[in-house]
Structure 1
Amino acid sequence: MVDLPPLRHPLVAAPMAGGPSTPRLVAAVGQAGGLGFLAAGYRRPEQVGEEIRQVRQLTGASFGVNVLLPGAARATEAEIAAYAATLRPDAQRLDVALGEPVADDDHLDEKIDLLCQERVPVVSFAFGLPTGATVERLHAAGTCVLVTVTTPDEAVAAAETGADGVVAQGIEAGGHRGGFTDRVGVGEYGLLTLLRLVARVSRLPVVAAGGLMDGHSVAAALTAGATAAQLGTAFLRCPEAGTNPVHRAVLGGSRETVVTRAFTGRRARSIVNGFASRQSTVPPPAAYPHVHRLTAPLRRAAVAAGDTETASLWAGQGHALIRELPAGELVRQLAAETHTALAATRHPPGG
């Protein structure tokens, strides 16, 4: 077992693939006493290596890297092709060609080699369970291994494979569902319920994730048994984040969120827009990363065009509570709020 690095504040900046999790954001969170995460998903190994080097140039604080594990599509080629046909009007409107709906392993082996070589302090996995051999390799490099889970059974499996802790992701979380399966009706626990169920079956440290936006919600997660709280959406409007302008513009508004496969073929929580709510005569197929590759040119073109109705707008249910602050200041505010909220639970009004 390898312990999580000691943190001045039990706060983790979630890995957010596709741009938001920059080295500057990771370093700023670490400097302020939290734990920042790079997102290795959709990055080539050499890009991940360069970002690791940038973080180390900016700070001596501990940090983590998140790895997305490959999965198999449940949808057929015909279902994927039928969905692609529904996207062609969008492609014509934005004057781009759809991507090729192909699968790959996102350079998994090369990334594990890199992370072992770089002796990264913490590595987390999402979309599945790493092999015991992978966990052992990372342990040999002195790395703490976390596995994202959305059910109690997944937490048990993570312990059995040798993980040092779990990230318990509630249904409130923005972005992709990070558990082992991608089936509707599986892993749809609210965060507080999930924390208590995981505590019943596992003694591993738990990092809580899902809809946490302020110190009061962080305090609730800690009171429910979490060792630390992981926040993603809360950091999206920090100046250090690589969040694109279209995404930034809609965060903090009154739009609700929805869990959909429309963007990537894997269920993910996005702010509601025309594309996210698309459940036409051809529902988005369960096919990740095939649909992710298919729609990537559309999403890039939508951002370039300022099109909020076609861009992916990942956000947790609490995005209306977002603050636009430097990351270090946000960490310090969250820590102070958490301390105040925890003190209030020890001395409740009228108690």
Structure 2
Amino acid sequence: MSLLDTLNLTYPIIQAPMAGATTPELAATVSNFGGLGSLGSGMTAPDVLNSQINTIKTLTDRPFMINLMVLSEYDSNIFDTAIPAWLSEYYQENGIVAELPERPAQNFTDQLQVLYDNPVPVASFTFGLISAEQVQRLQSLGTCVIGTANHPLEAKAWSEIGADAVCVQGAEAGGHRGGWLPQSETDPLGLLTLISQTRACTEIPLIAAGGIMTAQDIKAVQAAGAELAQLGTAFLTTDQCGINDTYKQALIDARQGLRSSETRLTRLFSGKLARGLLNDYLRDFAQFENTDVLPPYPQLNAMTKSMRAHATHSLDAEHLSLWAGQGVALVKQESTLDLLERLVKQL
């Protein structure tokens, strides 16, 4: 059975689960259209996640996906590094109070429990591997399980624990890289290379992500061996997306040539490699990018939160994490439905 049939989709389109950017309304709109809408819930408190799942279930009776970030109890709960001196100086110079949360991230175990108690059609995971037992428990509740991989070995690991599919995320993709093995960071693979190398080592159904913006892109990754295409950046400038206006305008400016459309893989915002538009923050602190002293994810992510909140309030795109893939120059300001109709018209 094809993945399209397994997931009960009309079109081979998945709207990427971008934490902080996706909304129940966006997910439901895509699902109602016949694609797979998703909610990036890795940073969402369990009670809010439960409420959002219920909201999506009222908005659509079609399949949808919830995405969680796999973090250990230690990673979620402990600050064991100090705020870097250069970041502290930035806060002092700009009069920003750096307020750290009680813990760096949400508790993954508590979030996963929500999916046990309030089952969803599809669950996907980034940043790590869950156990075979957890995969089986979700599947027993009627949930399809999708892993994320930046390297063939990560895809193989998901296959071996019984996942239903793997989303292979090429280096072109915007936002955080979903893998966890050192190999996926030292030599990031482009999407077509990743698909072909993954196909050579596992037969698990593949979803392709990274730089996909057009119907031609979707057909290209299907020809390469992926069954479905996952698009993120293309949805960021649509009406149902949840990003703030400053972020959205920066993406549109990149499309129109009013700012550079250059993107960069960086750890400077969160401690984990992620791709976003080049801005002053990445330029000013580039010297710290390749050092071994950056706090790890999610600690640095929590440490830069005050800066990003201040930038949002100040309409300052130069100190926001402007996550975007290498296809950002092709974004359009349009409705979510217009984007979907434009894509399927040419499939």
Task: Compute the TM-score of the two structures, normalised by the length of structure 1.
Answer: 0.89
Query: In 1, distance between residues paired with 2:297 and 2:134?
Result: 23
1:270 counterpart = 2:276? yes
1:55-74 superposed matches below 5 A? 55-70=56-71
Q: Tell me, which stretches of 5 or more residues in structure 1 are unaligned?
A: 340-351
CA RMSD of aligned residues (A): 2.3
SS of the residue corresponding to residue 120 of structure 2 reads coil
The residue number in structure 2 matching 1:9 is 11
Q: Which amino acid aligns with 2:277?
A: I
Structure 1 residue 187: deviation in Å? 5.5
Q: For 1:284-340, what per-residue CA distance to the aligned partner results, in whole angstroms no more than 9, with x for missing partners?
A: 615010101111111011011011111110000110101122112211211122x2x
Q: How does 1:95-174 map to 2 (within 5 A)?
A: 95-100=95-100, 106-174=106-174
Are 1:285 and 2:294 counterparts? Answer: yes
Tell me which amino acid in the other structure corresponds to 2:19: A
Q: Which amino acid aligns with 1:258?
A: R
Identity over aligned pairs, percent: 36
Any residues of structure 2 matched to 1:137-216 within 5 Å, and which? 137-181=137-181, 185-186=185-186, 188-216=188-216
Contact 1:269 1:314 in 2 (8 A): yes
Deviations 1:63-110 (A, max 9, x none): 00001011577xxx89x43x6210123323443222438755622122
The question of whether the paired residues in 2 share the 8 Å contact of 1:266 and 1:286 is answered with: no
C-alpha offsets along residues 161-183 of structure 1, whole Å, 9 cap, x if unaligned? 11111000000000001002367
Which has the bigger relative contact order, CA under 8 A and spacing at least 6? Answer: 1
Aligned position for 1:345:
none
8 Å contact kept, 2:151–2:184: no
8 A Cα contact 2:151 2:183, kept in partner: no
For 1:208, what is the secondary structure of its paired residue? strand
Partner SS, residue 219 of structure 2: helix
TM-score by length of 2: 0.90
SS at match of 2:317: coil
Letter in 1 for 2:344: A
Q: What is the match of residue 332 of structure 1?
A: 341
Give the CA deviation at 1:6: 1.6
Distance 1:281 1:105, change over 3 A: closer
Q: Distance in 2 between matches of 1:185 and 1:117?
A: 35
Tell me the distance in 2 between the aligned counterparts of 1:279 and 1:217.
Answer: 32
Amino acid at match of 2:98: L
**Cα 1:87/1:6, change in 2 over 3 Å:** same
Partner of 1:261 in structure 2? 267
Given that 2:104 and 2:302 are in contact with CA atoms closer than 8 Å, whether structure 1 keeps it comes out as no
1:301 aligned to 310, 332, 345, which one?
310
Q: Which amino acid aligns with 2:320?
A: A
Letter matched to residue 62 of structure 1: P
* Aligned AA (2:335): P
